[in-house]
Chain A
């Protein structure tokens, strides 16, 4: 664990406060799952739907 400088500016009405603090920095223990682009998600959804439609067609003999 280390400390990282954070530069802060706060404006409240006409009052401006500037300061620097030391914030806690640590390695990410577990990376979250990779985010897919929205288009990829839409395409996956369409593919899943296509597969379901094909499956239904086969079941109905069409």
Chain B
């Protein structure tokens, strides 16, 4: 059976959209109106045998931050590197909640019920280590999460 050639007329409103845009939505957000995707990236050079403490985020008033995952990478191809992350509840406690050794790249995921929840005023910080005793290296860290107004 021959397949008939079909032609589509796309009106001005549809230009730039998939031809089926009127009936199909390729991606639909699952976030509520009081929620927003939250991504952060931190890039730095760390001197040989040094550690840099990066204050990543202080959760604003009337907000809550959910951390789903983090990524760390560096340009050192030889040495194991290390990153730790901590949550500070001002006036209460500072708690180290993660410590990862990696070569070049690591991805830490907090799925489902394990997601990290930071309330208003909480501070998340990273300690990036350069364990190469001789050379400085470039590092990049990313945090993926969701900010919610409460």
Chain A residues proximal to chain B, CB less than 8 Å:
2, 4-13, 21, 23-28, 31-32, 34-35
Contacts and interface: CB of A to CB of B under 8 A. Distances in A.
Contacts, number: 71
B135 interface: no
A41 B136 CA distance: 29
Please report whether the interface of chain A is mostly helix, strand, loop or mixed according to DSSP: strand
A42 B41 CA distance: 35
Interface of B: 36-47, 49-55, 57, 80, 82, 101, 129, 131, 133, 147
Given A12-B36, A23-B53, A6 B44 contact: yes
The binding surface of chain B is classed by DSSP as strand
Contacts of A34: 80
A23 B37 contact: no
B52 A24 contact: yes
29 contacts: A2-B47, A4-B46, A4-B47, A5-B44, A6-B42, A7-B42, A8-B40, A8-B43, A9-B40, A9-B41, A10-B39, A10-B40, A10-B57, A11-B38, A12-B38, A13-B37, A21-B55, A23-B53, A24-B52, A24-B53, A25-B51, A25-B53, A26-B51, A27-B49, A28-B49, A28-B51, A28-B129, A31-B131, A32-B82
Contact of B50 (A9, A11, A27): A27
A35 B50 contact: no
